[in-house]
Amino acid sequence: MTYNLDPELQQPIRDMMREFCPKEIEPLGLKHDREPDSFAHDIFQKLAAKGLVGFVMPKDYGGGGRKKLEYATMIEELSYFDPPSSLLSAVSQLAVDPIMNFGTPEQKQKWLPKSATGELIPAFALTEPNAGSDAANQALTIKDDGDHYVINGEKIFIMHGDVCHFAVTFGRLASDTSERPRVSAIIVPADAEGFKGFTLQHKMGMKYATTGRIEYKDVKVPKENFLGEPGKGFKMAMITLDGARIGIAAQSVGIAQRALDESIKYAKERIAFGAPIGKLQAIQWMIADMATKVEAARLLTYKAAQLQDKGESINLAASQAKLFASEASKFCVDRAMQIHSGYGYIGEFSVVEKLYRDQRVTEIYEGTSEIQRLVIAGNMLRK
Ligand SMILES: Cc1cc2nc3c(=O)[nH]c(=O)nc-3n(C[C@H](O)[C@H](O)[C@H](O)COP(=O)(O)OP(=O)(O)OC[C@H]3O[C@@H](n4cnc5c(N)ncnc54)[C@H](O)[C@@H]3O)c2cc1C
């Protein structure tokens, strides 16, 4: 187990991101953040052109074929410079993951290469108005109608659901009339008649990696788009989310590290009572706590990524990494705000205000902190 940077694997990625992001990504992010919520096509295309959208997608299907540890490093760095950009990349990976893992060769050939290059924007559509944490409570119906399926229902809080070209959509088979129907999955093209995506406005942070609501009204989908085995969709979704949680943990580490670095810089510059505030023990303690949490969060994240690379079970490790890193990032943005005080609260003066808003959702999406605790406790009690 590598407990910190693996020079051969991770350092080139860090170097590349530190060269690329401050020039090409961060300024665009700051501009988009001040505009009404709309998808940052310009950033997405820059990321895709640099190979950061198809980073871990298989080489055979046009992706970079990178390992999870490399992916975690890339997402951490991207998030350090611009958290929403890390989401723009991570969502494509989340959405194609079920196709990578459970799709037929034909489905992979059809949907992966163009997703890897950013020509297609995919979405992962699991959550419904009445199926959030209780994701198995799907109301959307997938009805077998001869030579095609017909989809009816609604999805909410779907990343890129407003701009996607296709949505990996979870639902229940209309023929399953049991009280708790089993979940299935199907790839729904966004240009099919009856599919409509809407941008959800006034999001607190991560504004230009947009979140949508999708309506499906009698959407006809070819039979070949059915994904995996009927009734196995919940398992597919949970396996996908296990892997994706490592990405959110890495995103959180990037945010936390940025909050720490901004705080150290400011503590050395800001003079109060005739000396830099970094001389004050009250400020030193905040920085010490931040630095310790960042490091612990990073270690948990790398551990989970390495377990996935080794093909071991990540259910526990991914939840621990996501839970700890997202809460550590909240701690760090909060302390960064306190250290910057007035100059942190007003976005004109520092990035701390934006970091504070972008951070909050890391504790909500891909399973809330409460759900992560359920997963961790379940693992402990099963032992
Ligand atoms: C910006 C954003 C992007 C998102 N992107 C996607 C996406 O791309 N695709 C997708 O499918 N979904 C997406 N989601 C949905 C996200 O995964 C859900 O919001 C999340 O799972 C919580 O569901 P909920 O909001 O319905 O809250 P609820 O499930 O209603 O939970 C409300 C509260 O109750 C708690 N709670 C619920 N059940 C339990 C329990 N058993 N034990 C303890 N506490 C519990 C929760 O932790 C929470 O505090 C996104 C959400 C946001 C905000």
Residue 1 has pLDDT above 60, yes or no: no
Residues in contact with ligand 1 by the CB-under-6-Å rule are 124-127, 132-133, 157-159, 211, 361, 364-368, 370-371, 374
Residue 96 has pLDDT above 60, yes or no: yes
Residue in 39, 157, 357, 374 to alter for ligand 1 test, most ligand atoms within 8 A of Cβ: 157
What gap in Å lies between CA 133 and CA 157, rounded to an integer? 12
Residue 180 has pLDDT above 90, yes or no: no
Ligand 1 atom closest to the Cα of residue 370 is 47
1 alpha carbon – ligand 1 mean position (Å) = 32
User: Exposed, middle or buried, 7 (CB in 10 Å: 0-12/13-18/19+)?
Assistant: exposed
The whole-number average pLDDT for the span 76-95 is 98
CA dihedral 34→39→43→48, nearest 10 degrees, is: 170
Ligand 1 atom closest to the Cα of residue 206 is 1
184 alpha carbon – ligand 1 mean position (Å) = 20
First to last CA, the chain: 23
pLDDT value of position 153: 98
* 3-state SS class at 341: coil
Residue 163 gets the label, from left (phi > 0), alpha (psi -120 to 50) or beta, of: alpha
Ligand 1 atom closest to the Cα of residue 133 is 29
Residue 158 has pLDDT above 70, yes or no: yes
The protein residue whose alpha carbon is closest to atom 32 in ligand 1 is 133
* 3-state SS class at 199: strand
Cβ count near 217 (within 10 Å): 13
Ligand 1 atom closest to the Cα of residue 91 is 8
Percent with pLDDT over 90 in the chain: 96
Ligand 1 atom closest to the Cα of residue 170 is 11
What gap in Å lies between CA 129 and CA 158, rounded to an integer? 11
pLDDT value of position 8: 87
The protein residue whose alpha carbon is closest to atom 38 in ligand 1 is 133
The whole-number average pLDDT for the span 88-96 is 98
311 alpha carbon – ligand 1 mean position (Å) = 28
366 alpha carbon – ligand 1 mean position (Å) = 7
Ligand 1 atom closest to the Cα of residue 123 is 8
Residue 114 has pLDDT above 70, yes or no: yes
The predicted model scores a pTM of 0.97
CA dihedral 73→75→78→80, nearest 10 degrees, is: -80
pLDDT tier at 370, thresholds 50, 70, 90? very high
The protein residue whose alpha carbon is closest to atom 9 in ligand 1 is 158
242 alpha carbon – ligand 1 mean position (Å) = 15
What's the DSSP call for residue 226? E
pLDDT value of position 7: 84
pLDDT value of position 229: 97
Computed over every residue of the chain, the mean pLDDT equals 97
pLDDT digits (tens, 9 = 90+) for 289-304: 999 999 999 999 999 9
What gap in Å lies between CA 362 and CA 325, rounded to an integer? 9
Residue in 364, 369, 372 to alter for ligand 1 test, most ligand atoms within 8 A of Cβ: 364
373 alpha carbon – ligand 1 mean position (Å) = 14
77 catalytic? Reply is no
The whole-number average pLDDT for the span 47-60 is 97
Please list, residue by residue across 169-200, b when 16 or more beta carbons sit within 10 angstroms of its beta carbon and e when fewer do.
Answer: bbbbbbeeeeeebbbbbbbbbbebeebebebe
pLDDT digits (tens, 9 = 90+) for 203-253: 999 999 999 999 999 999 999 999 999 999 999 999 999 999 999 999 999
The protein residue whose alpha carbon is closest to atom 4 in ligand 1 is 157
**One of 76, 262, 363, 366 is an active-site residue; which one?**
366
155 alpha carbon – ligand 1 mean position (Å) = 13
Residue 381 has pLDDT above 80, yes or no: yes
Residue 3 has pLDDT above 80, yes or no: no
